[in-house]
Structure 1
Amino acid sequence: MPNISQKGLNMPSSPIRKLVPFAENAKKKGVNVIHLNIGQPDIKTPEVALNAVRNMKLDVLAYSRTEGSEAYRTKIAAYYKQHEITVSAEDIIVTTGGSEALSFVMGAIMDQGDEIIIPEPFYANYNGFATNNGVTVVPILSSIENNFALPPIADFEKVISAKTKAILICNPGNPTGYLYTKEEVEELAQLAKKHDLFIIADEVYREFAYDNKKHHSILSIDGIAENAIMVDSVSKRYSMCGARIGCVVSKNKELMQAILKFAQARLSPPTLAQIASEAALETPNNYFTAVIEEYVSRRDLLIKGLKEIPGLTVAEPSGAFYCIAELPVADTDDFAQWLLESFELDGNTVMVAPASGFYATEGKGKNQIRIAYVLEEKELVKAITILKEALKQYPQT
């Protein structure tokens, strides 16, 4: 039998999706599974985006430009200007989701064996992108005790080596919900400039900043134009996860030329989804006002309920729509599977994402889970009750 590549063997499984077979089996047995495991918002996609596709009249569904349509990129640049980010259409390459954007960036700036520093826990697929590009992730541990704030800069300095090419952050964070302060973003920017590194900011949750706090983009920091790379996506902002439209934004011309070559190899981003995404930019501000109010309400209800569960510790997020909870169990992978295979309450159970997959350091996060509060409040109330009772009954609690 032909051999699978070592890269294929090393590719990590998604902690978000690896339990899907167990969830499907539970559903076949008639159990209702409440999905807290995946960041798929139940918020409605803006009607203006859906109408753009419904009303589209095309004789040929053709390729778009490799870098995305000029009209769309021009409108993206205008959107960024409203958020104090000054870029042009030439500084933007449209991608098939934020995932492709990150993969292109890693491919363009790193060679086999190069290193990227990432505060952990981090979005699990960063591990996959790194493996796919032959890049080594160097994690810097953050702590639930301070809601996963930026670790001390000294911790970054200790691990910077000749192989280090970049620092990557997600702001606001997935899976933590942490929103970096302006001072923290500036500290990272100066560190990148000092050591001549790229600083990559995954900013797909930009709109979701709570408690009167403000999101600070890496591209709003002066003096680091050649170092700064932003990754973005329409998936969460407009509840358009299935559109698979993202982008890379940078003023570094040499970098963007390299990324363009990676983009040319896959031809172009999807045309229909670009039409919907361009229309979504016309979404009125009151859409976001209502969405943010809804997420704040859900967050507050969830955090309050989780804090009432004996032995459970939870970080308090200020952005995105995730939180990390620490459970009184040794292995949340086993607990999450047990919930789907062996537990139900009044015909219901919950599906969570074990947090170990959001770490690169072996053994970290084994007693943590990520919860996505993307469901309406009555479902969250039900889920909290199920988790509380499950922890009472779980043999390894």
Structure 2
Amino acid sequence: MPKVSLKGQQMPESPIRKLVPFSEAAKQKGVKVYHLNIGQPDIKTPHAALEAVKDNIPEILEYSHSAGFDSYREKLAAYYQKSNVQVNKADIIITTGGSEALLFALGSTMDAGDEIIIPEPFYANYNGFSVASGVKVVPVISTIEEGFALPPVADFEKLITAKTKAILICNPGNPTGYLYTEEEIQQLAELVKKHDLFLIADEVYREFTYDGDQHYSVMNVPGIEEHAIMIDSVSKRYSMCGARIGCIVSKNKAVMAAAMKFAQARLSPPTLAQIASEAALDTPQDYFDEVIKEYKDRRDTLVAGLTEIEGVKVATPKGAFYCIAKLPVDDADKFAQWLLESFELEGETVMVAPAAGFYSSPNVGMDEIRIAYVLNKEDLKRSITILKEALKQYNS
């Protein structure tokens, strides 16, 4: 019998989606499941984006340019310039989601066996993208005790070898919600200059910051133009996860030329979704003001509720819409499955994402979960009540 590839065997399961069969079984039994496990916003997609598709359906659904619509890239560059990210359309390639942008970034900067340093916990699919690219993830651990702040630069430096090609960060972070300070970004900038590395920043949550804190992009740092690569997406910004439109952005012409060859190999990004994404750029600021106020209220509701549960520790997120909570359990994976298989409170339960899948270090984060606060405040309060009772029963 033919065997699947070693790469196929090594591809990790999604910690976010692997419990779906248990969730489906619970629903079939009539149990209501509150989904805290996945970052699918319940915020409405901007009306203008949907109307643009309706009003511009072509007679022939053609390929677009491999780099994406010229008009979209020009408009996107202007959008970034408002945040002092001084790029033009030649520095942008539109991709099929931020996921493809990350694959292009890895493919354009690394060869099989090369190494990439990533602060963990990190977005679980970084593991999968690295396996697919034949790249080795070298983790540097951030801790809940430090609020998941950037580990000391010395911790990064001692991991750098001849095979190290890049450092990858998510800012603000998924799954931690941590927002890197300007000083932390500057520290990384100095490090990549010193060791001639790339600094890849996944900035898909760049708009979602709270408490007056500002996002500071790697593209804002003077002197690392040849090192910096930004990954972005419309998925979370406009609540358009299904559009699958992202981009890779860099001033490094050699990187962009290589990324363009990957873009040509997959032909083009989705046409209708680009129409929607281009129109979404006209979304007024008051849309974001309302969304950010809503997420801040949800964050405060969640953190306050979790803090009141005995034995639970949580770091307050500064951005995005996720947090990591440390639970009084030995194995969050087993607990998450038990929540769906064996527990209900008045016909309801919650689905969470075990956090071990957001680490590449073995046996780390075993007692942690990631929570996405994408539910309304009343549902979050109910979810906290359910989680509190579940922990009480599980530990008895």
Which range, TM-score by smaller chain?
A: over 0.9
The equivalent of 1:380 in structure 2 is: 380
**Distance in 1 separating the partners of 2:169 and 2:338:** 33
The equivalent of 2:358 in structure 1 is: 358
Q: Report the 3-state secondary structure (helix = DSSP H, G, I; strand = E; otherwise coil) of the residue aligned with 1:199.
A: strand
Amino acid at match of 2:58: L
**Distance in 2 separating the partners of 1:65 and 1:29:** 48
Alignment of 1:41-190 (within 5 A): 41-190=41-190
Q: Does 1:261 align with 2:264?
A: no
Amino acid at match of 1:144: I
**Distance in 2 separating the partners of 1:325 and 1:101:** 29
The equivalent of 1:205 in structure 2 is: 205
Deviations 1:83-109 (Å, cap 9, x if unpaired)? 110000000000000000001110111
Q: Report the 3-state secondary structure (helix = DSSP H, G, I; strand = E; otherwise coil) of the residue aligned with 1:340.
A: helix
Alignment of 1:295-306 (within 5 A): 295-306=295-306
The equivalent of 1:343 in structure 2 is: 343
Deviations 1:168-191 (Å, cap 9, x if unpaired)? 000000000000000000100110
Deviations 1:302-348 (Å, cap 9, x if unpaired)? 00000000000001000000000000000000000000000000111
The equivalent of 1:6 in structure 2 is: 6
Alignment of 1:230-379 (within 5 A): 230-379=230-379
Q: Any gaps of 5 or more consecutive residues in structure 2?
A: none
**Distance in 2 separating the partners of 1:57 and 1:367:** 49
Q: Per-residue deviation at 1:359?
A: 0.2
Q: Report the 3-state secondary structure (helix = DSSP H, G, I; strand = E; otherwise coil) of the residue aligned with 1:159.
A: coil
Amino acid at match of 2:170: C
**Distance in 1 separating the partners of 2:269 and 2:189:** 30
Alignment of 1:214-225 (within 5 A): 214-225=214-225
Q: Per-residue deviation at 1:54?
A: 1.5
Runs of 4+ in 1 over 6 A off after TM superposition: none
**Distance in 1 separating the partners of 2:200 and 2:251:** 13
Q: Per-residue deviation at 1:58?
A: 1.1
Amino acid at match of 2:322: Y
Deviations 1:135-179 (Å, cap 9, x if unpaired)? 000000001012100000000010000000000000000000000
**Distance in 2 separating the partners of 1:160 and 1:58:** 51
Amino acid at match of 1:249: V
Amino acid at match of 2:197: L
Identity of aligned residues (%): 68
**Distance in 1 separating the partners of 2:44 and 2:194:** 44
Q: Per-residue deviation at 1:56?
A: 1.6
Amino acid at match of 1:201: A
Q: Per-residue deviation at 1:59?
A: 1.1
The two structures have a TM-score, normalised by structure 2, of 0.99
Q: Per-residue deviation at 1:262?
A: 0.6
Q: Report the 3-state secondary structure (helix = DSSP H, G, I; strand = E; otherwise coil) of the residue aligned with 1:204.
A: coil
Q: Per-residue deviation at 1:55?
A: 1.4
Amino acid at match of 1:118: I
**Distance in 2 separating the partners of 1:263 and 1:331:** 41
Q: Per-residue deviation at 1:358?
A: 0.2
Aligned residues: 396
Amino acid at match of 1:17: R
**Distance in 1 separating the partners of 2:189 and 2:57:** 45
**Distance in 2 separating the partners of 1:313 and 1:234:** 32
Q: Any gaps of 5 or more consecutive residues in structure 1?
A: none
Q: Per-residue deviation at 1:57?
A: 3.6
Amino acid at match of 2:329: V
**Distance in 2 separating the partners of 1:311 and 1:256:** 48
**Distance in 1 separating the partners of 2:300 and 2:57:** 44
The two structures have a TM-score, normalised by structure 1, of 0.99
Q: Which moves more between the two structures, 53-62 or 315-324?
A: 53-62
**Distance in 1 separating the partners of 2:317 and 2:147:** 7
The equivalent of 1:389 in structure 2 is: 389
Amino acid at match of 1:302: L
Q: CA RMSD in A?
A: 0.6
**Distance in 1 separating the partners of 2:229 and 2:190:** 14
Q: Per-residue deviation at 1:82?
A: 0.6
Amino acid at match of 2:336: A
